[in-house]
């Protein structure tokens, strides 16, 4: 498919092939991951009253929706590949945007993708014992450091390679895959919810009981909210593929708003059916609530099916991460803020080939190194900072670019964005105080990219390329 008016020798470009339905599914697949089947227990342990716990799920979803509304305005203003990277560049300049992309590549997106791939392999091993993730295939020592390759790491790497191959072939193929997995697990969740309430062995009396872990404290509510915010993470992937959405000024805002709304509803119903199946005290002490709840509602024999179901969710979610992450690095390279070879698009398939391949290699290295968990902990602090800055970009750009077309304007401006900034700032300070080592490590990692930024800016100036892409502005 060639852009209208483009000749046969026109350079390859990203094609707008993602529909509104694709956009909604990207938000759902990117947000709903394996955590929804684990975190309900952690939330109930931190907040013993199930009614308040459900209220926090709704409240966190509402706060996420506020961020989505702000991102919808920005995405409609700048409907191009890169999403948050572009928003931060326009609001604060190239330096801030580069640091965001640098941390995302080295730690955030890559380590989260590695961790999710391992999680999918673990649950797949539970569904099919022959694929047990902990089985060691090969082990050795390098310079005194033990190194072992497990069956789980091989399965995780294979899944990343497969997803990268799908994304290389076509953005539409990737959309079909994530649409299929999203619809499959949404249908499965719907069946569990309807059948659970209709014929399952449970009780609504559980919604009125306590978890037996004491009273509710501000510290406990804070711990619960932190876990909840991470459960809602992933909706922003849609903005990353803004350059490939059809009619983005309409479909990007609608995709964010409808997608986040469906995620909130799904989370609420899943928690409700878990509480219907298990007493709060039992649910709070359950390692995998989905397995225990479905086993109690129907039969213990369905445990393997639940494990396979969770693996499917992780696989579909990973497809969106692979899709979106490569667009960030492609956009950075176009600005001269990253390795120039990452701007290469496949001449026939119009996908960011080199960006996808480099991302694949780095994620596989993290999987084999088993260091992704430590890296992702460092990224948590930086991620919260970037969300606050993204929402604040709405306020900044209303002042610095007042005449730019805004097909969608953020609902509740400026009060809702300000409310989100206040809440996010509180979490940034809380994370800095509770996890100073990891938070400072995240800042240090960002600082490591500064010499590279200076090098690429100097090279761009000397080459006489488009000015301003790496300059501070706003």
Is residue 470 one of the residues assigned to a domain? no
Is residue 2 one of the residues assigned to a domain? no
Spatial CA neighbour of 161 closest among 108, 117, 205: 117
**Residue 378 pLDDT grade (very low, low, confident, very high; cuts 50, 70, 90):** low
pLDDT of residue 348: 85
pLDDT of residue 419: 94
pLDDT of residue 49: 85
Judged against a pLDDT cut of 90, whether residue 360 lies above it is answered with yes
**Residue 374 pLDDT grade (very low, low, confident, very high; cuts 50, 70, 90):** low
Mean pLDDT value across residues 151-158: 91
Mean pLDDT is lowest, of 48-62, 64-78, 203-217, 319-333, for: 203-217
What is the residue whose two structure tokens read 């990891």?
A: 438
**Residue 4 pLDDT grade (very low, low, confident, very high; cuts 50, 70, 90):** very low
pLDDT of residue 87: 93
pLDDT of residue 144: 62
**Number of domains present in the structure of the chain:** 1
Is residue 6 one of the residues assigned to a domain? no
pLDDT of residue 5: 44
pLDDT of residue 61: 93
Mean pLDDT value across residues 371-394: 76
Phi and psi, residue 145, nearest 5°? -100, 125
Indicate which CATH number applies to the domain containing 213.
1.20.1740.10
pTM over 0.75: yes
Judged against a pLDDT cut of 60, whether residue 344 lies above it is answered with yes
Judged against a pLDDT cut of 70, whether residue 178 lies above it is answered with yes
Mean pLDDT value across residues 426-437: 78
Mean pLDDT value across residues 116-139: 82
3-state DSSP call for residue 164?
Answer: helix
Judged against a pLDDT cut of 60, whether residue 112 lies above it is answered with yes
Q: Is the CB of residue 446 less than 8 Å from the CB of residue 327?
A: no
Q: Which is higher by pLDDT, 420 or 204?
A: 420
Average pLDDT across the chain, whole number? 83
Q: Which two tokens stand for residue 295?
A: 């086993």
Q: Mark 228-241 as b/e (b = at least 16 C-beta within 10 Å).
A: bbbbbbbbbbbbbb
What is the residue whose two structure tokens read 């120039």?
A: 340
**What is the chain's percent helix, strand, coil content, to nearest 5?**
75, 5, 25
Q: Given the DSSP bridges, would you call strands 136-142 and 145-150 parallel, antiparallel or unpaired?
A: antiparallel
Rg of the Cα atoms in the chain: 22
**Residue 391 pLDDT grade (very low, low, confident, very high; cuts 50, 70, 90):** very high
Is residue 473 one of the residues assigned to a domain? no
pLDDT of residue 146: 65
pLDDT of residue 142: 65
Judged against a pLDDT cut of 80, whether residue 325 lies above it is answered with yes
Q: Is the CB of residue 320 less than 8 Å from the CB of residue 30?
A: yes
Mean pLDDT value across residues 151-159: 92
Mean pLDDT value across residues 291-298: 82
**Residue 377 pLDDT grade (very low, low, confident, very high; cuts 50, 70, 90):** low
Mean pLDDT is lowest, of 112-121, 147-156, 371-380, 396-405, for: 371-380
pLDDT of residue 209: 63
Is residue 115 one of the residues assigned to a domain? yes
pLDDT in tens, 14-44: 778 889 999 999 899 888 877 787 788 888 8
Q: Which is higher by pLDDT, 371 or 10?
A: 371
Is residue 128 one of the residues assigned to a domain? yes
Mean pLDDT is lowest, of 160-174, 228-242, 353-367, 374-388, for: 374-388
Is residue 396 one of the residues assigned to a domain? yes
Domain that holds residue 58: 20-463
Mean pLDDT value across residues 89-101: 91
Is residue 9 one of the residues assigned to a domain? no
pLDDT in tens, 197-253: 888 888 888 877 655 556 677 767 777 877 788 788 888 888 888 888 899 888 999
Q: Which is higher by pLDDT, 140 or 53?
A: 53
Q: Which is higher by pLDDT, 152 or 107?
A: 152
List the beta bridge partners of residue 140: 147
Q: Is the CB of residue 120 less than 8 Å from the CB of residue 159?
A: yes
pLDDT of residue 2: 42
């Amino acid at each position: 498919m060639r852009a209208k008016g483009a000749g046969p020798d026109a350079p390859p470009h990203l094609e707008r092939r993602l529909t509104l339905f694709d956009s909604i599914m990207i938000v759902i697949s990117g947000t709903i991951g394996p955590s929804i089947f684990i975190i309900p227990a952690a939330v109930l342990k931190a907040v013993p009253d199930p009614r308040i716990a459900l209220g926090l799920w709704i409240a966190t979803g509402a706060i996420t929706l506020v961020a989505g509304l702000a991102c919808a305005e920005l995405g409609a203003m700048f409907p191009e590949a890169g999403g948050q990277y572009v928003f931060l560049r326009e609001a604060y300049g190239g330096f801030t945007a580069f640091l965001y992309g640098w941390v995302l590549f080295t730690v955030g997106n890559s380590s989260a993708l590695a961790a999710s791939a391992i999680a999918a392999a673990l649950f797949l091993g539970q569904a099919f014992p022959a694929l047990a993730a902990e089985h060691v295939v090969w082990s050795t020592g390098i310079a005194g450091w033990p190194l072992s390759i497990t069956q789980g790491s091989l399965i995780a790497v294979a899944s990343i390679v497969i997803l990268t191959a799908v994304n290389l072939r076509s953005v539409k193929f990737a959309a079909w895959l994530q649409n299929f997995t999203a619809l499959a697990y949404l249908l499965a969740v719907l069946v569990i919810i309807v059948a659970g309430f209709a014929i399952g062995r449970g009780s609504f009396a559980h919604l009125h009981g306590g978890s037996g872990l004491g009273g509710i404290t501000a510290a406990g509510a804070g711990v619960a909210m932190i876990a909840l915010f991470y459960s809602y993470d992933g909706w922003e992937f849609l903005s990353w593929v803004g350059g490939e959405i059809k009619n983005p000024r309409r479909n990007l805002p609608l995709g964010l708003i409808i997608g986040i709304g469906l995620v909130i509803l799904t989370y609420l119903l899943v928690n409700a059916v878990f509480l219907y199946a298990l007493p709060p005290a039992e649910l709070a002490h359950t390692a995998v609530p989905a397995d225990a709840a479905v086993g109690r509602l129907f039969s213990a024999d369905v445990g393997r099916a639940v494990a396979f179901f969770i693996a499917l969710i992780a696989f579909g979610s990973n497809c969106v991460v692979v899709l979106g992450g490569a667009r960030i690095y492609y956009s950075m390279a176009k600005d001269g803020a990253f390795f120039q070879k990452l701007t290469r698009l496949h001449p026939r398939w119009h996908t960011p080939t080199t960006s996808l391949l480099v991302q694949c290699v780095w994620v596989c290295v993290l999987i084999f190194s088993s260091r992704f968990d430590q890296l992702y902990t460092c990224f948590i602090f930086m991620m919260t900072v970037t969300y606050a800055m993204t929402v604040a970009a709405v306020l900044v750009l209303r002042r610095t670019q007042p005449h730019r077309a805004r097909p969608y304007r953020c609902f509740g401006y400026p009060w809702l964005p300000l409310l989100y900034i206040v809440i996010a700032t509180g979490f940034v300070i809380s994370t800095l105080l509770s996890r100073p080592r990891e938070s400072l490590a995240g800042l240090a990692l960002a600082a490591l990219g500064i010499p590279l930024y200076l090098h690429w800016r100097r090279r761009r100036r000397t080459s006489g390329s488009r000015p301003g892409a790496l300059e501070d502005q706003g």
